[in-house]
Amino acid sequence: MNRLRFPARRLACLLLLACAGAAQAQLRLPSLNLPQALGGAGLDGVVRPAERLLERTVPGDLRGLRLDTVADLLRRHGAVLEADPRGAPIVRREILANSPSPEALRAAAGLGFRVLREERYEELGESLVVLRVPAGLDTNDALARLRALDPAGSYDFNHLYTGSAALPLSGGAAGPAAGGKPDGSGAVGLVDSGVDVAHPVFEDAAIESFGCDGRRHPAPHGTAVAALLVGRSERFSGAAPGTRLFAADIYCDSPTGGSADKIAAALGWMARSRVGVVNISLVGPPNATLERVVGAMVARGHLLVAAVGNDGPAAPPLYPASYPGVIGVSGVDRQGRPLPEAGRGPQVMFAAPGSQMVSAALGTPPYRQVRGTSFAAPLVAGLLAKALPRPDRAGAARAIAALAAQAVHDKDTVSNAIGLGVIGAGLRTDPGRFR
């Protein structure tokens, strides 16, 4: 295997993970999903033409898939959602204040802002206050006033984040699934929509749940991603079967699900639970709250693995995959070629299988083909979780270096399409197993 040359961004990531103590630096709710998966594994006459059509699509045009979803989301839930100046969906009339001082909160109250809720993430040294915008002031002007009032403070909209998948779920793979016995250890985290814990693929899985006031809202995206992390049955295996899954549902079938404050709360739970590796197959705009919490997690020695998205190679970076220290994952097909819809850039650290593969699905049939960077990320996260069961700065750097040493690549360079290389090719569950 060729030896890789690490560019500055990726080398800085490893140094940050090793030295951060000193530096302290796709879903049940249809409107919140990017289209999630490809068609049925047993329906080759339908699936293969769809794949060929996607391969012919101009990559830059694929951004319209997510933008159409966002536009529909705003149109159907205008009472609780609105757009920020860039068109990204936000929770209507809510502003996030990150670790605000008491003086700043008093000043905000003097302007008519009201505290809706407050969270403290003790392990991360962060707190979050959600403010209600006063009547007669629009959300954009409200944010500008808070930033002018407290220039040293950190304030932002409460952005929404969507699943990072490619095409709609349709059809499936027929056949029963039998449970296997766990053989792993440690833990891995998932920030996504709800998981169908009753699915046969999780028969012997240990799953801890967070969110939705203890109620379960199984969703296609979260179930498929969770299966790729820890699931196992007679004909299917995720990357880390037997590993305890800490699954945070941040959607709960709510129009405001997937918001930045809910992601922050989920990561705070992961920090309290000391989960070393956390998968986030979600994408959206940069956000001050998300950036601070992600940075605190990385500094503490967690590894956050995130899909880079499917807006096409010419699209601007999506988050949280593009934050420093986050392991950005792209997708490749069966031949190891980058998916034409996958994002590209320095945020890509690894690539993994993201098409022509099967994962768990809701209902009957219980398995369906999936496509998109959403489904590549959990394969990387599962492999890393085996090496980092608990947060550890030096251990995180070693885990990345060990995975990089296994990566398959063509040249002695780092690619904006596949990063340090392709890993986990053997983890793809081929649809042929279900015919």
Would you name the residues annotated as active-site residues? Answer: 192, 221, 374
Instruction: Kindly give, in sequence order, each residue whose CB lies less than 8 Å from that of residue 423, ignoring residues fewer than 6 positions away.
Output: 350, 351, 352, 379, 380, 383, 403, 406, 407, 408
3-class secondary structure per residue, the chain: CCCCCCCHHHHHHHHHHHHHHHHCCCCCCHHHCCCCCCCCCCCHHHHHHHHHHHHHCCHHHHHHHHHHHHHHHHHHCCCCEEECCCCCEEEEEEEEEECCCHHHHHHHHHCCCEEEEEEEEHHHCEEEEEEECCCCCCHHHHHHHHHHHCCCCCEEEEEECEECCCCCCCCCECCCCCECCCCCCCEEEEEECECCCCCHHHCCCCEEEECHHHCCCECHHHHHHHHHHHCEECCCECCCCCCEEEEEECCCCCCCCCEHHHHHHHHHHHHHHCCCEEEECEEECCCHHHHHHHHHHHHHCCEEEEECCCCCCCCCCCECCCCCCCEEEEEECCCCCECCCCCCCCCEEEEEECCCEEEECCCCCCEEEECCHHHCHHHHHHHHHHHCCCCCHHHHHHHHHHHHHHCECCCCCCECCCECCECCHHHCCCHHHHC
